[in-house]
Structures are given as structure tokens and as C-alpha cells.
Amino acid sequence: MTIFSVRHITEYVYKRPVAFGQHRLMFRPRDSFDQTLLSSDLAIHPPPQSVRWIHDVFGNCVALIEFSGRAKKLRFETNIRLEHSEQVALDLQIDEEALTYPFAYDPEEAPDLERTIARQFPDPEDQLGRWTRQFVRQGQPTETGRLLMTLCYGIHESFTYQRRLEHGTQTPLQTLSLRRGTCRDFALLMMEAARTLGMAARFVTGYIYVPDRDGSTTLGGGSTHAWCQVYLPGAGWVEFDPTNGIVGNRDLIRVGVARDPRQAVPLSGSYDGKASDFDDMTVQINVTTDENSTTHTG
């Protein structure tokens, strides 16, 4: 296993002192069999009036932060440390009846998966559905795992990663037309593509470890990262990162999951003032490992 450390700093600067509304922060990783949170801390300046923790509708840990007074700067710094065990995606133990596409979900699970199966964006001419079906073999069985891996790699190889300063996420049809986008755009595209095939898919926000920031081709390091999960009977929620062509959880640190990207914004809030009062925003994220933390088992 590997020990990851994440330092995440977000700072807002204003031209004059402003008052702050409630801020909502999602940074605490989800404890699971493949990642165990060892420690976490949160430092905020100016000091908040209160910090209240809740679990949202998806079970994500969310901090609700209230402020009093005014300030020209608002700074959030989070530091986390966790154990991470890589899960080999090619060893997926999919139930026999779901090994080939199409398949049906268990009647006991289907009601709980319903909203993650339903398509979320208008597509009157089924453009996304037609594009997705090119990955399905015609006239012969299609292996479910291979179908999803090919879809993931297809987005990685055929679309151009491009950072975008604007907030929000492109619609799947916009990304399909432009053939470029951010990690959030590609995650949403693959989610909606999987849904056209009748599969349950959800959005994941978190961090990615980049072994060599200077020479790596891995995209999304130095900022929050996004990918998706698809629910496969017998294997459960499986990670797919179309931005980097990663199947499985290698180097991915899961923080929050949601049905829609708008439900998994890492940091959101408001201030009381004019739009012109805002001056600048900086984000710094460092994901590192303990040099001697990685162990291998035979």
C-alpha cells in the first residue's frame, strides 16, 4: 500500500473588506477498503464563527462554515494523510450474468440505482447514444468490462484535455461536439454515455497523484480531479478516469461521489459585496507519497 499526503490551499482576495456567507467544503476522503484516512486538519483565515460537519445525501463528509466580520482575504488550507491500496481493474469479478452486454440489474438493487441510470441531459436526436454504440460489437457478444474500458480509452485518445477557468461543467453534447474539455467534462461524458447503455454511473471528485509533475503526461495534477464510477454486478462501483485512461483506482484519491457534478463541488460559498470587489483566487494542491510507504506483496 501507499501513504498519500494532500495539501490543498484555496485563497480568495478582495479589493476591500467584505462579509462572507456560508461556505461548503468537501475535502475529507471517503474511508473504504481501498483507502483509509489517517489524519486530516482544516485551517481557515480569518477564523470562522463555526464549523459544522454533516453527511450529505450521498454519504460524503461536508463542512459547513459560518463567518462573522469582514476581511480582504479568505484562505482555506486542508491537509490529509491516508493509506491507499491499488485495486487492479483487470481482475474485476463481475457476476456471470453481467459478463456480457446487455445485462439487467438485480431487482433488489435496481430501485436504488434508478436515478444513476436515468439520462440527465436532453439529447433529442440521440447523438450521444449513437456515438456510444460504436463501442458495442455488432453481431457477436460484447464483454461488459471490455466495452467500458474501450469507452474510457476512446475518450482519452480521441478528446483533447484543456483547462478552463470558467466554473461549471460542459454538457455531454457540448463535449462531444468540441472534442475537448476538462476532467469534469470527460467524467460527465462517460457517465452519460454509460447511461445510454442502461448502466448506472456516478461522478467522483478527488485528487490524483502525479509521480513526476515535471515530466508526467497524467492530467489533472495540481488541482482537484474528477472521474466516474460505473456499477457492475459482482464488482460494485468501478473507477474509470477517461482523462488519463485509468481503469481502477491507481493514483486516484476519492473524496466525494454524486449523481451530478453540481452536487460535488469541492468548495462553494458567497460574499456580501459587489462583483467588482473580487480581485483574485489562487489554488495550490500538492499530492505526495512517503518515499518508503509503498509495499508490494506477491
CB 293 within 8 A of CB 63: no
Q: How confident is the model at residue 1 (pLDDT cuts 50, 70, 90)?
A: confident
pTM of the model: 0.91
What is the tens place of the pLDDT at every residue in 121-137?
999 999 999 999 999 99
Q: How confident is the model at residue 292 (pLDDT cuts 50, 70, 90)?
A: very low
**pLDDT score at 89:** 59
CATH class for the domain made up of 2-84+265-289 = mainly beta
Cα–Cα distance list, 237 to 11, 89, 109, 173 (Å): 34, 11, 13, 25
Q: What does residue 276 show for φ and ψ, rounded to 5 degrees?
A: -70, -10
Mean pLDDT confidence for 55-79: 97
Packing angle of the helix pair 183-196, 144-158 (nearest 10 deg) = 140
**Yes or no: domain 89-263 corresponds to CATH 3.50.50.60:** no
Mean pLDDT confidence for 17-33: 96
Is 276's pLDDT higher than 80?
Answer: yes
What is the spatial distance between Cα 3 and Cα 24, in angstroms, rounded to a whole number? 27
3-state secondary structure of 76: strand
Q: How confident is the model at residue 109 (pLDDT cuts 50, 70, 90)?
A: very high
What is the tens place of the pLDDT at every residue in 227-258?
999 999 999 999 999 999 999 999 999 999 99
In 29-164, the DSSP E strands lie at 35-45, 50-55, 61-66, 70-84, 100-101, 142-143, 160-161
**pLDDT score at 217:** 43
Show the cell assigned to 115.
436515478
**pLDDT score at 222:** 59
For the chain, which residues make up each domain, given as ranges? 2-84+265-289, 89-263
Is 91's pLDDT higher than 70?
Answer: no
Mean pLDDT confidence for 57-77: 97
Mean pLDDT confidence for 32-49: 96
**pLDDT score at 93:** 82
Q: How far is CA 91 from the centre of its chain?
A: 22
What is the tens place of the pLDDT at every residue in 181-226?
999 999 999 999 999 999 999 999 999 998 865 334 445 455 799 9
Torsion of CA 172, 98, 256, 1, to 10 degrees: -130
Mean of the per-residue pLDDT values of the chain:
91
CB 3 within 8 A of CB 44: no
Is 268's pLDDT higher than 60?
Answer: yes
CB 203 within 8 A of CB 181: no
What is the tens place of the pLDDT at every residue in 156-189?
999 999 987 677 899 999 999 999 999 999 999 9
Mean pLDDT confidence for 75-99: 86
CB 10 within 8 A of CB 283: yes
pLDDT more than 70, % of the chain: 92
